[in-house]
Structure 1
Amino acid sequence: ENNYRYYDRNTEQEENRRHATFDNNQFQVQLGWKKEDKRFKSKLWFLKSDHEIPENVFVGSGTSRQHDAALRWLNSLNFRSGDVQHEVKTYLAQTELDYFDPNRTIESISTGREWNNEFSSTISVSPDFLLSNIVSAYFTEVRTNNYEDTKYRRVLSQQFTAEIQASSKLGVFPSFRLEHYSDFGTAISPSFGVNYQIINDEIYVHSLISRNFRAPTFNDLYWPQGGNENLNAETAVLIEAGIGITDSWNGIGDHHLAFFRTDISNGIRWTPGSGAFFQAQNYLSLLSYGVES
């Protein structure tokens, strides 16, 4: 029950919040085994919920409800082959959402499915050089009465990362990711990070530069009121540099200060359009920078 009391400014008295109950049911099971250098885990999770959605306190009782159900299954297998550590992961999910409001004659029904396979290999080339390779295949599908037809996306990805201890104080972390989207083509996302220990395990400086890629969501593209199928993918270049102090230095606690700069191209934002609806649009560029601690 979620029918809490509140003060109603219209009647100038306390009232009970109405139409605000919710019911959640969850089930989760996990199993696995381990033998020598092999390890397997499997986890199944189920959720079913029924929520009443209240109006604001000035309107009173509402009529809308939300029925949700989700099923997710995650598996992972770790094993070693010679000097190479491998991991295989699979993820399957289905989510069902049903929102309806009989007073407004609104019903939104959607079913989403996801499938992701990932295979990674890590090898210690030397005590100071760790190299990883990650290959993944991702598929997602959405069926909803809000879109004209079923929407889907496939993404294939190849990523290389390295951890290089160039000296006792200097660490270098390059990365390169290549992705292919079924609807947005090929994207390249490199990054390069450096960490330098001024005083080992006590004071350090770090820096990072990376290029990132984000494809529009299905709602950005296909939502009937404001979706824009002509959107371009969003890209960003991030530069960050900072200094950190750990609690090992004079016992003063952990502290961190960093400068960042983000340059976004074709950023996606929902802006006021014609009528009462917002519309997804690309803006030319956005530059943000600042200091955080």
Structure 2
Amino acid sequence: MDIKRSLVLLFSSYGCFLFGQEKAIDTIYIFDSQMNKVKLFHPVKTITTEDAEKNSTNLSDLLRFQSQLYIKENGRGAVSSPSFRGTTAQQTAFVWNGININSMFLGQGDINNISLFGYDQIGIKAGGGSVIYGSGAIGGSIHLNNDLNFNKGFHGSLFSEAASFSTYNNFVKGSYSNDKFSFKASGNYSASENNYKVENEGKTYTNDNGQYYNTNFNIATAYKIAPHHQISWISEFFNGRQHYPVFFGDLETKTKYHTQNIRSLVSWDWNESKFSNSFKAAYTEENFQYFSNIDKPYTSGGTGKNYIVKNDFNYFVHPKWNINIIAEYQLNKGNGEGTSMVGDVHRNIGSVSGLLRYFTTKDLRFEAGIKKDFVEDISSPVLFSFSGKWNAVDWYHVGLDVSRNFKFSTFNDLYWGQGGNKDLKPETSYQFEWRNQFMAGDFKLSVIPYYMNIRDMIRWLPTLAGYYAAFNTAKVESYGLESQLGYEKKFGKHILKSNLGYSYTKSTDLSIKKQLMYVPYHKFTGSIDYQYDFVKVYVQGMFNGRTYTDSNETKGAALDPYFVMNAGAGFTFYKNYTLGFKVNNIFNTTYYTMLSYPLPQRNYSVNLNINF
């Protein structure tokens, strides 16, 4: 297959077509118009809806077992944050259909306040991506993507699950499309009493006041108004309630947290033979309320509104040369209520990115990018990226990535009543990674060493006056290795898949020469999936090494290493019905991802999946 035809097939789902005699069939529309381009140069782990059902408790559980991220969770279903390559949650970008949705107050996303279901794909990209995905994409990015099919008629599905601790997950999805019109809607409801008990060294921990309730609704549609023009719209509505666990039962005041998120995106896509243009207008809103006593009115809260206009222009000056220009404007508005919260504030943000892609042959390609952000009252650096990929021989592919990334201050960093600091500099990082992929028969092995240097890290530290304040203090150096071994074989009615992943992470605060908190040196993940005719079974396991919980590497306060294994089976009957069973934490391991908050021991679930 020649390079022109390869690019046509790769870009066709976005409408970025090469000129010439080739004709691509437009059968699918993806809202993140950059994702397939990113995959040309960077490895992106894609988790499908079927994969998500293996860890259906929440998004934290999914990322913990199916990625190299470290997930710090304050008890099952409570506050949860990710760590890429030894960074923190503030250096991780959550991207919803191409739009960065990190909180403008905290600068991060609470994983358990993001629905697991409702997305067609979840993408996990390690490494910097600020040139395309903006502030916070330093350690990596998590992509929540939706798509719309054409000419597929009507399809529907229902997933319903009952599990231990009075846990219930229900997800329903329906879609209809013809040659010009596509529509999809879905709804998800998750609830749990979450009152699990953990036995450890003769003591019993009960997750009192740990219940949670989440609802999520998605709707999307697209219409081809002319042969080369299409308009589309997608919206998401999330409502979540978390009760925070207590240690002393009725002797301790119980607290809870409510959040309501709205995300809406309208897009006009214009596709011609030599160029494409995608114009998007988006609105995102975050609302939250904290109750210091669950029986009384909320004591603090906030509302953040974000208005976004974005244009993505692609032009092929030659079949081998592609120019991509991305311009974006945002208006952030925030309002905080309660003790020490920010007041009524706003901020204007603009950015311009330019990317040049060159495809010499089907085996060699590279991409160079540059970006300048214009953030009100903040001096932002010029960012750059360079990626190359070379299929040197049939059994060995090599890639290179160098980038400068950044994160600007959040509203809390700048305007928190006592401790906010308007003189903060943005965090910047330099990153290098070298990707190696080896193929032998049905085996694939990837080995990726990397290096990262973060400057002016923003940290909240105690002051002489007794309160915490935001400062640019830390310089962090992170280096390590990520590797993945995969095997897939199909013979007759048998399908066997296996994956084994290992990551080593050394992330040092250079001022004290110590490993950062909640960054394990070692993590292993593994899974085996086997299918024969109507029967599917799988096992998955995760090992996490010793994890320090303070900045001085105190072994007595560190989290002990642990190994957790899950298993499940599914039986399909009458073609469209699948009955599934799962056992989580088979060996009844006691384990923590956050000091003092154990996660559940052995637990069970049963589910029914119907496609129609």
User: TM range, normalised to the smaller chain?
Assistant: 0.7 to 0.9
2:413 partner SS: helix
Verify the 8 A CA contact 1:53 1:62 in the aligned structure 2. no
Residue 38 (1) aligns with residue 38 (2): no
Superposed CA offset, 1:120-168 (max 9, x none): 1111222211111111111211100244532222211111112102345
Is residue 2:174 matched to residue 1:174? no
Deviation at 1:26, TM superposition (A): 3.3
State the distance in 1 between where 2:228 and 2:475 align. 49
- Mapped contact 2:195–2:211 kept (Cα < 8 A): no
Higher RCO (CA 8 Å, separation ≥ 6 residues): 2
SS in 2 for 1:254: strand
Alpha carbons 2:233, 2:267 under 8 Å: kept: yes
1:251 to 424, 427, 441: 441
Q: In structure 2, how many angstroms separate the alpha carbons of the residues matched to 1:65 and 1:284? A: 32
Paired position in structure 1 for 2:536: none
> Whole-Å Cα distance in 1 between the matches of residues 242 and 398 of structure 2?
49
Q: Which moved more, 1:148-157 or 1:57-66?
A: 57-66
- Secondary structure of 2:443's partner? coil
CA gap 1:57/1:3 in 2 versus in 1, 3 angstroms: farther
Alignment of 1:234-245 (within 5 A): 234-245=427-438
* Counterpart secondary structure, 1:221: helix
Residues 14-73 of structure 1 show CA distances to partners (whole Å, capped at 9, x for unaligned) of 97x554443333333222212422222212222233443331356666432323222221
Q: Which has the higher strand share?
A: 1
Q: Deviations over 1:174-217 (max 9, x none)?
A: 111111111213431111222222115x4111112111121112
Task: Give the distance between the partners of 1:7 and 1:261, measured in 2 at CA.
Answer: 39
SS at match of 1:220: helix
Distance in 1 between residues matched to 2:443 and 2:377, nearest whole Å: 48
Q: Please, which of 283, 290, 300 is the counterpart of residue 92 of structure 1?
A: 283
Query: Using the alignment, how far apart are the partners of 1:130 and 1:217 within structure 2?
Result: 35
- What amino acid is aligned across from residue 260 of structure 2 in structure 1? A
Number of the residue aligned with 2:480: 290
- Aligned equivalents of 2:332 and 2:447: distance in 1? 39
Compute the RMSD of aligned alpha carbons: 3.0
Paired position in structure 2 for 1:215? 408
* SS of aligned partner of 1:228: coil
Runs of 4+ in 1 over 6 A off after TM superposition: 12-15, 103-106
Q: Is the 8 A contact 1:48 1:68 kept in 2?
A: yes
Offset from partner CA, 1:233-264 (integer Å, 9 cap, x none):
1111112223112xxx3224222112222122
For 2:209 and 2:450, the matched residues in 1 are separated by 46
Aligned residues: 287
Greater Rg, structure 1 or structure 2? 1
2:335 pairs with 1:143? yes
Mapped partners of 1:109, 1:254: distance in 2: 49
Contact 2:276 2:314 in 1 (8 A): yes
| Aligned CA distance change for structure 1 residues 23 and 189 (closer, same or farther; 3 Å) | same
Q: CA deviation at 1:13?
A: 7.7
Contact kept, 8 Å, 1:67 with 1:99, in 2: the verdict is yes
Q: Secondary structure at the match of 1:185?
A: coil
Contact residue 18 and residue 62 of structure 1 kept, 8 A: no
- Between the aligned partners of 1:242 and 1:26, the Cα distance in structure 2 is 37
Q: Which amino acid aligns with 1:182?
A: E
Distance 1:258 1:19, change over 3 A: closer
Call closer, same or farther: CA 1:188–1:102 in 2, change over 3 Å: same
TM-score norm. by structure 1 comes to 0.85
Partner of 1:22: 212
Structure 2: gaps of 5 or more residues: 1-191, 484-612
- Residue 228 of structure 2 contacts residue 272 of structure 2 at CA under 8 Å; is this kept in 1? no
| Aligned-pair CA distance for 1:272 | 4.0
The farther-off stretch of 215-224 and 170-179 is: 215-224
What CA distance in whole angstroms lies between the structure 1 residues aligned with 2:478 and 2:197? 41
| Correspondence for 2:385 among 186, 191, 202 | 191
**Larger CA deviation: 232-241 vs 271-280:** 271-280
**How far off is 1:102 after superposition?**
3.5
- Which structure is higher in helix share? 2
2:443 and 2:417 map into 1 onto residues whose CA distance is: 52
Q: Shift in Å at residue 271 of structure 1?
A: 3.4
Matched residues in 2 for 1:221 and 1:29: separation?
35
In the alignment, residue 326 of structure 2 is paired with which amino acid?
I
Distance change >3 Å, CA 24–CA 131, structure 1 → 2: same
For residues 143 and 14 of structure 1, what CA distance do their matches in structure 2 show? 38
Percent identity over paired residues:
20
